[in-house]
Amino acid sequence: MFETQEYTVTHSNAPSLRSFIQIDPASDFPIQNLPYGVFSAADSPKPRVGVAIGDFVLDLAVLEDEGLLDLSPAYEVFAQPSLNPFMALGPVVWSKVRAAISALLRDDNPRLRDDKPLRSRALRPRNEVTLHLPFHVAGYTDFYSSKEHATNVGVMFRGKDNALQPNWLHMPIGYNGRASTVVVSGTRVRRPRGQLKPPSADVPSFGPCKRLDFELEMGVVIGQPSSLGEMLTETQAEAMIFGFVLLNDWSARDIQQWEYVPLGPFQSKAFATSISPWVVTREALEPFRVAGPAQDPTPLPYLQQVSAQNYDLALDVALQAAGSNAVQNISQTNFKYMYWSSVQQLMHHASSGCAMSVGDLLGSGTISGPEKHQRGSLLEISWNGTEPVELAGGVKRTFLEDGDSLVMRGWCQGNGYRVGFGEVEGTIVAAD
Amino acid sequence: MFETQEYTVTHSNAPSLRSFIQIDPASDFPIQNLPYGVFSAADSPKPRVGVAIGDFVLDLAVLEDEGLLDLSPAYEVFAQPSLNPFMALGPVVWSKVRAAISALLRDDNPRLRDDKPLRSRALRPRNEVTLHLPFHVAGYTDFYSSKEHATNVGVMFRGKDNALQPNWLHMPIGYNGRASTVVVSGTRVRRPRGQLKPPSADVPSFGPCKRLDFELEMGVVIGQPSSLGEMLTETQAEAMIFGFVLLNDWSARDIQQWEYVPLGPFQSKAFATSISPWVVTREALEPFRVAGPAQDPTPLPYLQQVSAQNYDLALDVALQAAGSNAVQNISQTNFKYMYWSSVQQLMHHASSGCAMSVGDLLGSGTISGPEKHQRGSLLEISWNGTEPVELAGGVKRTFLEDGDSLVMRGWCQGNGYRVGFGEVEGTIVAAD
């Protein structure tokens, strides 16, 4: 516990806040952000929880051990290899700890700033640590909540007049994904094998996927459980959201096309889902809330949301083709376009009485925008392979090739600072 | 460790084996079975692992503590609230421990039989204990592998000529289910709410499901992990299977009908999946292996299985209507009819490189047989609600009503003994 608060109390999101750590205005990790992750270092290989601040990682296990985080000494939630124990403590504690970390990093608080031995134990250069999957994924659910994405896919496969399925405007359509293969940014993605049956073939064959794609998504990290049989109000759902990650829902389009009727995607999505190592808290994103698109028809009462539904969160996708040095932007969009919000997805998820768990991950669904450059998957960008993407040096892509590296970034732009997610990167390796 | 083996070594499945505990030939739990579960008692409320034997539960935490289970003293895998730590030790240990338990329970082995103080600590009347969910469900996947069931559903909704989807004969179709709502037998099942849009309605409404159904399934319990990117051979897949449970895949047909296009069942299956408290080991079922149905076309090489694919395992379903004393059998079928085997399901599941986890649960899919009395769901039994089931006292059912209790049983009939699963029971309670 820090005992004196001689500095002025300032909200942890205030643009005026400054840290004693020098932070570039273009950094994703100013004092207004404070995202959580799990890291280890060569000299201390046990993974534990840290917070990104500028070019450093703040070791929360050290601060907790010193009694500086306003937590009961009994907890020991940060000397753990996942965020789940901390998340389980609930939103009041999340807020208190965020305030304590913010106060410790302020330029006008001497406690950490002037304690050189503590600083050298607690602050590590970010490029010297290894980042791990930040939480144990209890369950992974993937939604399909961008109207532009669902419409693009519908036009491609069913034509303009039947683009949206009849249920789409009435609820956030989603399916259960595979939690065991959620991996952290930087994990190489092996090209999946599967049954393929192109229209020209009479029977399926088994082999490496030929239409490997990404899907640009945000992931919601659920930090509180709900009970079997319990529905959620908007207030309850909101309070259960710990934070957000960038999410790449890798997709094997050819495997998906053959397997998905009638029970949905299975092996086409099961081989990997990549997330960013940093979980940006709901609290850090609060200043960036904006209204979502008008919902027509009006959602059923159990899905209605009073507060601003969306976040103004810029997203881009860059592709570095195998063997090339050029990293080229292939999509620029924004999370604000989503038709169904994360809170609505969560209220729908629990509506049958489905119990939610600490560590559940909810993918937003591919985030596409109204413009062509805002499409969130190669399926849409290359219009089902018919319009190749032109990259530097005459390289073209319809889908991903072995050796390609894909990087997604996301950030909210504040006044003189940005609250960013870092990146989620994945490089494709050959099937064998 | 038991140090002397004066009795003859006999295979733990041998029909000639006898226990010093008196066991009725109609009991599900003779010495040839030895299924694992997790239990607690009023005087010792900490859940731990036990084995069902006749009318008793054998407390493995006590036996492990006494050094009687041929396990390294460091393990302490049975004083745990789930089977996962034991399962993680792998098939060689599973087999050794089974042999040790079998030996301890034999009528010609004095070690436990004549040690009255140990016996009274280790053996508890089954009706005095509480049974819990036997393992932590890491992931739950549900398949759709009965040709008769898929055909029945197809005929109902698409007509006889298009009953089976084109992919069905080429792979075990499945989808990811919701692991957090897998519950143990005896847990009451709240009627789910959801979006309903009968054909007569222009727009959906939200309310209690009106077409609540069961699905009779077996569940495979995966006891060993596989790595990201790794495919499985038949031998590997077989060795990863720890055992089987009875499984009731509760289904809200009306919610399902409206939500499932194009991403599959979601809230219609998310509210509850019930399993039996006893996990019958693969080893105990070995004598009951039989060939499965002929597979035409021949499966692709990655799905081919050399050993006998199926088990001769009788199954029945009984319904006790609300307010009635009569428990009436409404389905009698057999696991042996399944078209795709559990090993094939597992090989398919890992085929994309999907990592399997200790504690994964794979539902077989509804088990229907070729005859009308062998249908494994009310959807089929009542032919989509058009042919009500006639119960005692003039009661009729098309789907389940509040207060209805449904019981599934399963067993393999040996010569003078049966290897049974006990039951999985669930009673429907009103939505509010």
CA–CA distance, B249 with B268 (Å, rounded to integer): 10
The DSSP H or E segment spanning B105 is helix B91-105
pLDDT of B3 above 80: no
Contact B83, B146 (CB under 8 A): no
CA-nearest of A73, A308, A331 to A217 is A331
- Written as tens digits, the pLDDT of chain A (432 aa) is 334 444 555 789 999 999 999 999 999 999 999 999 999 999 999 999 999 999 999 999 999 999 999 898 778 999 999 999 999 999 999 999 999 999 999 999 999 999 999 999 999 999 999 999 999 999 999 999 999 999 999 999 999 998 999 999 999 999 999 999 999 999 999 999 999 999 899 999 999 999 999 999 999 999 999 999 999 999 999 999 999 999 999 999 999 999 999 999 999 999 999 999 999 999 999 999 999 999 999 999 999 999 999 999 999 999 999 999 999 999 999 999 999 999 999 999 999 999 999 999 999 999 999 999 999 999 999 999 999 999 999 999 999 999 999 999 999 999 999 999 999 999 999 998
Digit-coded pLDDT (tens) for A150-179 = 999 999 999 999 899 999 999 999 999 999
CA–CA distance, B338 with B244 (Å, rounded to integer): 15
What values do phi and psi take at B148, rounded to 5? -65, -45
Is there a contact between B271 and A352 if contact means CB atoms under 8 Å apart? yes
pTM: 0.97
Digit-coded pLDDT (tens) for B240-256 = 999 999 999 999 999 99
Task: Report strand pairing: B361-363 vs A56-59.
Answer: unpaired
A253 is in an annotated binding site: no
Classify A189 as helix, strand or coil.
strand
Which residue type is seen at A57?
V
- Among A149, A165, A176, A226, most B C-beta atoms within 10 A, so best to mutate, is A176
pLDDT of residue A400: 98
- Among B176, B215, B227, most A C-beta atoms within 10 A, so best to mutate, is B176
Within 8 A by CB and 6+ apart from A315, the residues are A216, A218, A246, A331, A332, A333, A334, A335, A367, A376, A408, A409, A410
Asked if the peptide bond before residue A208 counts as cis, ω within 30 degrees of 0, the response is no
User: What DSSP letter does each residue of B135-198 carry, written as one string?
Assistant: S--S-EEEE---HHHHHHHHHHHH-GGG-S-TTTTTS--EEE--GGGEEETT--EEPPEEEE--
Task: Show binding-site residues of B.
Answer: 142, 144, 158, 215, 217, 249, 256, 260, 269, 273, 366
- Average pLDDT on B214-243 reads 98
Q: Compare CB distances from A266 to B176, B197, B260 and report the shortest one's residue.
A: B176
The CATH code of domain A139-429 reads 3.90.850.10
What value does the CA radius of gyration of chain A take, rounded to a whole number of Å? 22
What values do phi and psi take at A205, rounded to 5? -125, 165
pLDDT of residue B47: 98
Q: Please, what is the average pLDDT of chain B?
A: 96
pLDDT of residue B2: 39
pLDDT of residue A9: 59
Which residue type is seen at A171?
M
Classify A97 as helix, strand or coil.
helix
Q: What are the chain A neighbours of B190 within 8 Å (beta carbons)?
A: 228-229, 353
User: Nearest residue of A to residue B208 by CA position?
Assistant: A352
| Total beta-carbon pairs less than 8 A apart between chain A and chain B | 188
Please list the active-site residues of A: 149
The CATH code of domain B36-132 reads 2.30.30.230
Q: What are the chain B neighbours of A260 within 8 Å (beta carbons)?
A: 262-264
A141 is in an annotated binding site: no
Q: Give the start-to-end residue ranges of the domains of chain A.
A: 36-132, 139-429
Q: What are the chain A neighbours of B301 within 8 Å (beta carbons)?
A: 206
Give the closest-approach CA distance of A193 to chain B in angstroms. 5
Is there a contact between A181 and B355 if contact means CB atoms under 8 Å apart? yes
Q: Compare CB distances from B267 to A203, A228, A352 and report the shortest one's residue.
A: A352
